Amino acid sequence: MRETAPREATRQETAPPYPRTDRTVPTRSADRASYDRDLVHAILDEAYVCHLGFVRDGAPVVLPTLYARVGEHLYVHGSTGSRPLRMTGRAPEGLPVCLTVTHVDGLVLARSAFHHSINYRAVVVHGLAYDVTDPAEKRAALDALVDHVVPGRSADSRPANKKELAATAVIRLDLTEVSAKLRTGGVNDEPEDLALPHWAGVVPVQRVYGTPVPDPLLAPGTELPSYLTESTC
């Protein structure tokens, strides 16, 4: 029989979970929350779009945008003229933000309207966003943003020139106050509703990629790159 590693050794090799805080412990369905570092990373790495929330002139603002994870940091980029990036540049102490990512995995159709739900995986990040001013970190972050959408793409495209870099701002949000929340499984109808003549169950939701459509102005001889033919894109 194959020997297994001692439990103590396994615990030491596992990345520690994110700490619980008042802002990361949900007030409802707390049993669905998770602070597992690998799970949080997996949810972040699978999505493309996050929603970045901040306060402007005393009112909340939430913007959808692309992002990328590099280790324990999230990077968001945009025009130097965009409000959140301008505000971060003016806040050397950091701009308070909340960033969220959500996957919808299924539509849960119950017999009662009250118990309809969705199966989902979500991550919520609280913290301070900082303006990235180091040129090397900025270039690495921009490469990571491109590769997050299509792995390998940054090496197969022209890097940003000085003018483009000057027009682009990048902010960094550290993964320190983080939680994941998930809903899985089927319908949770009341026992007295089980005999009702209404269909109930889960409709799975999946992301599907279509066939890449070439730009009509491609240079002669340009072929579809292997990272598209070998991936799910």
Q: pLDDT, tens digit, for every residue of 75-86?
A: 999 887 777 777
* 70 found inside a domain: yes
Distance CA 127, CA 20 (A): 14
Task: Over range 191-203, report the average pLDDT.
Answer: 97
The answer to whether residues 119 and 105 touch, using CB atoms and an 8 Å cutoff, is yes
Nearest Cα to 125, choosing from 21, 4, 230? 21
Distance CA 177, CA 98 (A): 10
Distance CA 128, CA 17 (A): 20
Range of 127's domain? Answer: 14-196+206-229
* 3 found inside a domain: no
Distance CA 180, CA 182 (A): 7
* 211 found inside a domain: yes
Q: Quick check: 88 pLDDT over 90?
A: no
Q: Sorting pLDDT into bands at 50, 70 and 90, what band is 13?
A: low
CATH number for the domain spanning 112: value is 2.30.110.10
* 4 found inside a domain: no
State which amino acid sits at residue 44.
Answer: L
* 223 found inside a domain: yes
* 38 found inside a domain: yes
pTM for this model (two decimals): 0.87
User: Number of structural domains, the chain?
Assistant: 1
Q: Which class for 171: exposed (0-12), middle (13-18), buried (19 or more C-beta within 10 A)?
A: buried
Q: Quick check: 185 pLDDT over 60?
A: yes
Cα torsion for 73, 78, 82, 88, to the nearest 10°? Answer: 20
Q: What is the DSSP string of 61-88?
A: EEEEEE-EEETTEEEEEEETTSHHHHHH
When comparing pLDDT for 52 and 79, which is higher? 52
User: What Rg, from alpha-carbon coordinates, does the chain have?
Assistant: 22
